[in-house]
């Protein structure tokens, strides 16, 4: 499973284009949003933290773009909108420009990927997303589902990707996705469940993907400024 966590996220859109949604796909995407708590509550949710598959820690301020990233002795405090910030390795500040840039770029790429594994179902109608109703099918767990196909219009870090998103007919929640490295691929690189939707604040989030799980997933009403300013470990 070493290549299971490659950079496949599409959360941050680097260019905008007109979306291509068919009517049935758009209706289902709206139902998914309602089932998870609604766009208003999602937009109002500010601070989210999680440890991606129990490893990389992210603490994200959705409203400002401030991010705290911790991984294997590296701490990065940056803003994902400007991609500016600071880094510390084993508690020591990173001062060289080239080294700092390397760490900022790595943290940003990790956030792109890792946050999509938390927020993808909230991003179905993002600018640049093509969303098409594909078929009715069953998940690997045997549940009846609608299947949407997502492709992208020159946005994100990996616009060549494709996803099949399985929406449970009973709950309107995403319960499985299949990832294709290229939109032209016939067979997915992997298929995993979204298996543990739970309330966090006023929205639902999932932390369970079968063989891999996020840890420390949380929504915070408030966090001190020091979380995004001090290299002291997040608690």
Chain mean pLDDT for the chain: 90
Beta partners for residue 151, in sequence order = 130
Contacting residues for 25 by C-beta, under 8 A, at least 6 apart: 131, 132, 133, 148
Residue 235 placed within a domain: no
Q: What 3 state SS string does the chain have?
A: CHHHHCCCCCCCCCCCCCCEECHHHHHHHHHHHHHCCCHHHHHHCCEEEEEECCCEEEEEECCCCEEEEEECCEEEEEECCCCEEEEEECCEECCCHHHHHHHHHHHHHHHHHHHHHHHHHHHCCCCCEEEEEEEEEECCCCCEEEEEEEEECCCCCCCCCEEEEEEECCCCCEEEEEEECCCCCCCCCEEEECCCEEEECCEEEECECCCCECEEEEEECCCCHHHHCCCCCCC
The CATH number of residue 145's host domain is 2.50.20
* Beta-strand pair 20-21/129-138: parallel
Span 45-75, pLDDT tens digits: 999 999 999 999 999 999 999 999 999 999 9
Say if residue 26's pLDDT is above 90: yes
- Asked, for residue 234, whether it belongs to a domain, the answer is no
Band of residue 103 on the pLDDT scale cut at 50, 70, 90: very high
Rounded CA-CA distance 80/87 in Å is 14
The dihedral over CA atoms of 64, 127, 196, 145, expressed in degrees to the nearest 10, equals 170
The pLDDT tens digits of the residues spanning 131-186 come to: 999 999 999 999 999 999 999 876 555 667 899 999 999 999 999 999 998 888 88
pTM score, whole prediction: 0.88
Instruction: Provide the domain limits for residue 168.
Output: 12-228
Q: Which two tokens stand for residue 203?
A: 């929205």
Read off the pLDDT of each residue in 217-228 and give the average, rounded to a whole number.
97
Q: What is the rounded radius of gyration, in angstroms, for the C-alpha atoms of the chain? A: 18
pLDDT of residue 9: 43
Within a domain: 4: no
The more confident residue out of 194 and 10 is: 194
Q: Does residue 135 lie within any of the structural domains?
A: yes
Classify residue 142: in a domain, yes or no.
yes
* Within-domain flag for 173: yes
Q: How many domains does the chain have?
A: 1
Instruction: Report how far residue 33's alpha carbon sits from residue 51's, in angstroms, rounded to the nearest whole number.
Output: 24
pLDDT at 15 over 80: no
Structure tokens at 135: 């078929």
Mean pLDDT for the stretch of residues 9-36? 72
Task: Report the distance separating Cα 100 and Cα 22, nearest Å.
Answer: 43
For residues 88 and 96, is the Cβ–Cβ distance under 8 A? no
Burial class (CB in 10 A: 0-12, 13-18, 19+), 221: exposed
């Amino acid at each position: 499973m070493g290549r299971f966590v490659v950079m496949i996220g599409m959360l941050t859109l680097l260019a905008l284009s007109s979306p291509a949604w068919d009517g049935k796909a758009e209706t289902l995407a709206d139902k998914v949003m309602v089932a998870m708590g609604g766009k208003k509550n999602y937009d109002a949710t500010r601070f989210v933290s999680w440890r991606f598959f129990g490893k990389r820690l992210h603490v994200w301020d959705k409203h400002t773009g401030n991010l705290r990233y911790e991984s294997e002795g590296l701490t990065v405090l940056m803003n994902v909108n400007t991609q500016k910030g600071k880094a510390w390795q084993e508690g020591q500040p990173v001062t060289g420009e080239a080294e700092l840039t390397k760490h900022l770029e790595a943290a940003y790429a990790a956030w792109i990927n890792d946050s999509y594994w938390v927020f993808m179902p909230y991003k179905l109608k993002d600018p640049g997303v093509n969303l098409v109703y594909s078929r009715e099918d069953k998940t690997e767990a045997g549940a009846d589902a609608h299947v949407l196909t997502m492709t992208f219009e020159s946005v994100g870090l990996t616009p060549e990707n494709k996803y099949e998103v399985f929406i449970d007919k009973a709950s309107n929640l995403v319960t499985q996705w299949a990832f294709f490295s290229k939109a032209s691929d016939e067979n997915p690189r992997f298929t995993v469940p979204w298996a543990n939707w739970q309330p966090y604040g006023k929205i639902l989030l999932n932390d369970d993907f079968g063989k891999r799980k996020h840890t420390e997933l949380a929504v915070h009403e408030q966090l001190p400024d020091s979380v995004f300013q001090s290299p002291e470990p997040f608690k």
